[in-house]
Amino acid sequence: MPDVSDIEPTLASVKASPQVLQVLRDLHTKALSEAPFLGSTGPTTGALELFVALDPDKCALVYLLLRSTGARFVVEAGTSFGLSTIYLALAVGQNATLLGSQGKVIATENEPTKAAKAREHWKAAGNDIEKWIELREGDLRETLKTDLPQQVDFLLLDIWSPLALPTLRLVYPYLKIGGLVVVDNTIVAADGYKDLMAYLEDPTNGFKMTTAPYSGGLLIAVYVGK
């Protein structure tokens, strides 16, 4: 039996309708039932049928970071089946509604089957989630080249590690001062993230960062400006 003990504390950390909470509960249970998969340093074909999702406690942290910073424009690199995207859209929608303004989560997924499942999950969560998400299908190195928001508040990198730095380079010109970059599995996949870490550690790029002690490591970087 999978260890689902983190699910309810995670759901207690978010403000959401019963419909959204039930979808999240179901998706987390399915994701935690899978064998662990780390496709950070090689091809991801073995993950086509897997969630490869953020752990529940990481999802709670991401949601709370988004709410506390008022983030309204978010880019997610590595959407998979769309579980973490629901947390992003939930926070962005609540922040935007509070301010009576616009907001958007730009989700990215290269695999058509995963993109289709993600859309199903967002539809099940309801319009309060679905309407805030723009899913860009295909190679994100192409799909993120154009039509990004003038200001990006938050970038989530939960993707094959060789794509992390190229993604950051595309989003970097739009990242606001105080914008956050969160990267999953930076300890367990440290070898794959060497180029990304070198970029973030270079003082000329304007980042300050720490690694939160979550399973596998969760890097949190803040763009403080050059």
H, E, C per residue of 123-139 = HHHCHHHHCCEEEEECC
- Other beta carbons within 10 angstroms of residue 201's beta carbon come to 12
Q: How far apart are the first and last CA of the chain?
A: 49
User: What pLDDT shows up at residue 43?
Assistant: 46
Compute the C-alpha angle 82/122/27, nearest 5°. Answer: 55
Query: What backbone phi and psi angles, to 5 degrees, belong to 64?
Result: -70, -35
Q: Report the C-alpha gap between 152 and 119 in whole angstroms.
A: 23
Query: pTM above 0.75?
Result: yes
User: What pLDDT shows up at residue 51?
Assistant: 58
Q: Report the C-alpha gap between 181 and 217 in whole angstroms.
A: 14
Map residue 52 onto helix, strand or coil.
Answer: coil
User: What pLDDT shows up at residue 31?
Assistant: 86
User: What pLDDT shows up at residue 2?
Assistant: 67
Q: Report the C-alpha gap between 105 and 132 in whole angstroms.
A: 6
Query: What backbone phi and psi angles, to 5 degrees, belong to 212?
Result: -80, 145
Residues 6+ apart with CB under 8 A from 213: none
Residues lower than pLDDT 50 in the chain: 39-43
User: What pLDDT shows up at residue 226?
Assistant: 85
Closest CA to 181 of 213, 145, 148, 206: 206
8 Å CB contact between 84 and 27:
no
User: What pLDDT shows up at residue 47?
Assistant: 59
8 Å CB contact between 220 and 209:
yes
User: What pLDDT shows up at residue 82?
Assistant: 95
Torsion 30-160-36-59 (CA) sign = negative
Q: Report the C-alpha gap between 159 and 164 in whole angstroms.
A: 7
Q: β-pairing, 175-184 with 104-109?
A: unpaired
User: What pLDDT shows up at residue 50?
Assistant: 62
